Structures are given as structure tokens and as C-alpha cells.
Amino acid sequence: MEQFMFIWQKLQNNRLRMMAMFLSVIFYVTLMLLSPLFFSFFVDNVIGDGEIVHPLARMFSAWLGGVEVLRNNLWIGGVIIVLISALSGIAMYWRGRLNGEISENVTQKIRDEVYRHLQRLPYSYHVNAKTGDLIQRCTSDVDQIRRFLASQISELVYAVALSLIAGVILFSIHAPLAWLSIVSLPIIFAFAYIFFIKMQKAFKASDESEGEMSAVIQENLSGTRVVKAFSRESYELEKFEKKNRTFRDLTYRLIHLLGMYWGLSDLICLLQILLVVVSGITMAKEGSITVGNYFVFVSYVSMILWPVRNVGRILSDMGKVGVSIDRLKEILNHPLEDIDVGLMPDINGSIVFDQVYFKYDDGETDVLKNVSFSVKKGETIAIMGPTGSGKSSLVHLLTRLHDYREGSITIDGVELRDIRRSHLRKHVGIVLQEPFLFSKTISANIALALPQAPEEEIERAAKIASVHQVITEFDRGYQTMVGEKGVTLSGGQKQRIAIARTIINNSPILIFDDSLSAVDTETDMHIRTALHAIAKDTTTIIITHRISSAQNADNIIVLNEGEIEQQGTHAQLLAQEGLYKRIADIQSAMVMGGEEDE
């Protein structure tokens, strides 16, 4: 029922089309069933001398001028056959057209809704989700619904309408033979229902397996540099082949179920036709039915049985659609991130952390514990610490990619939780540790948040990020196309373009999440000097492992296991024993060792 309501809601603005499609199918069925009746009438009453018994046949004969007129003008029968065929063709055309319009409109609506929902889901959802599986849901599962709407609904209406109308006609002609003609229908329906239950489970297993296989493909293609760098092609191939074999075996089960259904249902249908043929011949010999009526029964039983037998396939597709809808609803039912509710204060750059605690949704212990510090407008703060100490988690709180559990974070005196997320992210620029570039031109990547930015602004941001010279050396300069995820660029080039992309927004708060690690020390210093020169009022937060990147900061915070272990200027921290001094000594020794090696 939930799946039906899902489709019904998505049919909004297409329900009249659906009704028109139903009417065109019923009209087509009626015309199909008229043809055998017309032939029966001509055989028994026009060509033969049989008495017209059926009241509808009498009305038809009288409307055309009587049997004698038809017998002397057989061309009228030919015209009627052509007319029935023409009207059937028109009905089929509208059935196909309406099917196409309904299916494409609804699936476009579903795709838009799912993609829109994915865009508004919280960051934590995407961290835990498998990209390949999400892609499969947005493509294969949506297409499963499209195929069902494109043909299966009209096929179901066709089968039901044909069975009901033909049944009424057959019982009005000869009730005993009519009962024999439908004796197998309950068996076929019961068999189709059992098949539907089996298919639903088998398809769900196959669909989930395909999602896992897609995830492996997506992950491998995304990490192709790593795969080749570590010569892991054989391992990745073996992993894919294992998933592919599982998908194949589960799909085999689907095929075996289909083969079993088609084989047994064919046998039942053919036995039913044989029963009608033999019984009809016997009754015709005995004179209980006419030859024309026998022709009607033989024609109708074939017309009814095969569409009813196809109901099993339709039910199996309904099972597949049900699974696809459930998988899409898993996305659509996930709560959205609210980015448009909250305050929109002026943001200048003063930040205060006061006894902040934070842990991830799937975590058991706090990643940040009792973190307190303040940053004045225009100051530069550096955050250092070993891997896993909570550095990135801390700055992710500032953009509300995650929310803190306890304590208070304020920007210019306003509680962070009260600020609208979209407003906050517009004013807090962040350069991530792993930069992502889109498959666009370099210019478009830099101006991602400001598509209408003038060329001089783009170049200015690139110069500050020390990447302008590199870009001008490319054949097409700023119009050079970046490969997917920036694979045509080096790590340092990607990082600097990502820095330029953030700088162009002129955000009052700028965060470098270990994003200067991919550039050399000289370039790092040049970028920081250029930033300081043009953005003296910008509050800058630098997450780094380098003493050289942190030493000029107004304040340095040393995190260890989620807590602030040390805090102060470069000179103050060097003057005291602790983690910062140990890191400085190690890096200094490495530099001295490098000079001696030279």
C-alpha cells in the first residue's frame, strides 16, 4: 500500500492522462472483442441461414438494413473490418503516447526529488553512504519505475478489462462452455501470486548485490591513481569478480524463477485451449453451439489466457518496483539538513569556543573535550596536533557540517546554532584537506560559488594562491578543461586552485584544513604573505603539521586526544616543554639533516 501511495503522489498532474490511458485501453479491448463477434455473425447469419438469437446481433443487423442487405452487399463487412482496424490503431497510438508521457513525467519528477533530497541531506549521511549504491538507486531503481509505468500498468488494465468483458460475452453466448473456458484462470492467478512473492525477495537480493558491485566500480575508478601506484590491479580485479559472481548467481535465480513460471503457465494455458477446442467441437457436432460461436470461443480463450498469464510477469515487475521504491524511500525518508532557518547576523570574524564537547553520531567517545579559546577579528590562529587529535572536527563545527554536543561557540557574539547554515557557509570559507575539482574549465572551478565573477577577479585569486603562472603555461590557460576530479593536475596544482576558489569569495573567516600540506614550504609562505597583505581583516584558521606554517600565527593551539594541551605564540610554546617543542625539534632536525645530505 505504501508503494501504491508513493506512485499515486508522484502521478499528480498526470492523473487525467492515466484516466485517458485506461479509457483508450478499454476502447481497444472492446474493438478487439468485436472482431470475432462480427465474424461469427457473418458466418452464422449472413453467409449461413441461422436465426439471429442475440439481441445485440438483431440491433446490429437492423441498423445495417437487415440480413438480406448484408448478404447482397458483402463489401459492407469489409468496410466494417477496416473501420475496426483503424479505430484499434488509433486507440493503440493513444495508449502508447499516454504511457510514454506518464512514465517520463513521473520519473523526471522522482529523479529531481531524489537528487534534490540528496543535495539537502546532512554531511554525516554522505560520509557513511556508498556512492556507487546511491548512483544505482538514482538510475537503475528509478528506471525500474519508469519501465513499469511505461507498459506494465496498461498491460494489467488490458488483461483485467479483456477478461471481464470477454467473460460477460462468453457467458451470454453459452454458459457451460464459458465455465470450461475460465476453469484455469484461478490456477493461473494463484500461481502468479506465489511467483510474485518469490520474485520480490529474489529481486531485492539481486538489486542490493548490483548496488554493492556498482560501489566497487565507483571506488576503483575514483582511486585509480592509488591502485596503479601500489600495483593493486589484480587485487581490485579479484574483488570486483567476486561481487560480479555474486550478482550473477542471484540474477540466475531470477532467471530460473522466470523460466519456471513461463514454462508451467504455458502448459496450463495450452491445456486450457485444448480443453475448449475439444469441448467446442463436441458441442458443435451435437448442435448446442453454432460454428460461428465456436469460432468466438476459440478466439476469446486465446485472447484471455495469454494476457492473464502475463499478469505473473506484471506482478513480478510490481515486486521489483516495490523494492526500488523502498530503496528510494530510504533516501527520501532521511531527515533533511535545515539550511534556511536561523539568524543572518553580520559576520566579521570574532570567534569564541567555550567548553565545547563533540562526538560523531556513530561514536561512543567525545572527539573534542572541553575545548575553549577565542579568536579576534583579523587574527590568524594555527591548530596543530597528531593525527586523530580532532583538528578537522573542530573546524567542521564552524561550518556546522556537524553540531557540538555541549558548550558554546559564538561568532561575533551570536550562538553558532542560531545562525542559518546557508548564511554561515557563505561567510566561512574552507579549503579542505582533499580538494575536489569538477570536470569544468579552471576558470569555472575557481568561480564555482561566483559564476559571474569577472576574469580579473579570477586571476587575482589565482595569483594569491600562487597558481596563476602555472595556469598561463597551459595551452588554453584559464579555459583548460580539468579532468574528472582534477586527475589532469598535480596534487599541489589542485590544492592551489581550491585555495583560489575559496579566496575569491572574500569570506571574513578563512579556514585551511591542512590544505597547504600539498604545496612546498616556499609556496606556502608566499600564499600566507599574499593573504595577509590583501585581507588584513580576515580571520584565518590554519590546520597544519608544519611549524613553518604555524610560527607566524597570532595564536597556536596544540590539540592532543581532543583536548587543548598547549596554547600560545610560537616563541611562548618553544620556551616550554611539550608536544609543540618536540614537533619543532623533530622538523628542525629533519631540515638540518636534509641540508647536510646536500
* Number of residues that this document lists for the chain: 598
Domain boundary among 298, 332, 366: 332
Q: 379 and 287 in one domain?
A: no
Question: Is the predicted pLDDT of residue 415 greater than 90, yes or no?
Answer: yes
When pLDDT is cut at 50, 70 and 90, the band that residue 410 belongs to is very high
When pLDDT is cut at 50, 70 and 90, the band that residue 596 belongs to is very low
Task: Assess if residue 344 is contained within a domain.
Answer: no
Q: 361 and 291 in one domain?
A: no
Question: Residues 417-440: pLDDT tens digits?
Answer: 999 998 998 888 888 777 778 888
Q: 326 and 230 in one domain?
A: yes
Question: Residues 202-213: pLDDT tens digits?
Answer: 777 887 788 788
Neighbours of 381 (CB within 10 A): 22
What pLDDT does 19 receive? 92
Question: Is the predicted pLDDT of residue 251 greater than 70, yes or no?
Answer: yes
Q: 356 and 324 in one domain?
A: no
Neighbours of 333 (CB within 10 A): 9
Task: Assess if residue 343 is contained within a domain.
Answer: no
How far is 451 from 397, CA to CA, in rounded Å? 27
Q: 376 and 328 in one domain?
A: no
The residue to which cell 576558489 is assigned: 501
Neighbours of 479 (CB within 10 A): 12
Question: Is the predicted pLDDT of residue 173 greater than 70, yes or no?
Answer: yes
What is the arithmetic mean of pLDDT over 24-41? 82
Q: 363 and 307 in one domain?
A: no
What CATH number corresponds to the domain at position 180?
Answer: 1.20.1560.10
Domain boundary among 273, 301, 332: 332
Task: Assess if residue 76 is contained within a domain.
Answer: yes
Q: 320 and 226 in one domain?
A: yes
What is the arithmetic mean of pLDDT over 559-563? 90
Considering its fold, how many domains does the chain have in total? 2
Q: How far is CA 196 from the centre of its chain?
A: 25
Amino acid at 287: G
What pLDDT does 191 receive? 76
- 451 with 478: CB under 8 angstroms? no
49-58, 76-85, 367-376: segment of lowest average pLDDT:
49-58
What SS3 class is residue 407? Answer: strand
* Reported pTM: 0.70
Question: Is the predicted pLDDT of residue 339 greater than 80, yes or no?
Answer: yes
Q: 382 and 300 in one domain?
A: no
Domain boundary among 283, 305, 332: 332
What pLDDT does 287 receive? 79
How many CA atoms are closer than 13 Å to the CA of 125, on its beta-carbon side?
Answer: 15
Question: Is the predicted pLDDT of residue 557 greater than 90, yes or no?
Answer: yes
Q: 360 and 317 in one domain?
A: no
- 91 with 31: CB under 8 angstroms? yes
Mean pLDDT over each residue of the chain, to the nearest integer: 82
Q: 487 and 540 in one domain?
A: yes
**Among the ranges 92-106, 173-187, 527-541, which has the highest mean pLDDT value?**
92-106
- 129 with 165: CB under 8 angstroms? no
Task: Assess if residue 262 is contained within a domain.
Answer: yes
What pLDDT does 30 receive? 86
What pLDDT does 141 receive? 86
What pLDDT does 487 receive? 56
% residues pLDDT > 90 (the chain): 12
What CATH number corresponds to the domain at position 503?
Answer: 3.40.50.300
Distances, alpha carbon 300 to alpha carbons 34, 158, 273, 333, in Å: 11, 14, 10, 47
Q: 358 and 293 in one domain?
A: no
Please compute Rg for the chain using Cα positions.
Answer: 37
Q: 215 and 81 in one domain?
A: yes
Neighbours of 41 (CB within 10 A): 23
What pLDDT does 21 receive? 92
| Residue 365 DSSP code | S
Task: Assess if residue 125 is contained within a domain.
Answer: yes
Task: Assess if residue 337 is contained within a domain.
Answer: no
Task: Assess if residue 243 is contained within a domain.
Answer: yes
Question: Is the predicted pLDDT of residue 598 greater than 60, yes or no?
Answer: no
Domain hosting residue 193, numbered range: 2-332
Task: Assess if residue 275 is contained within a domain.
Answer: yes
Strand partners, 36: none
What pLDDT does 209 receive? 84
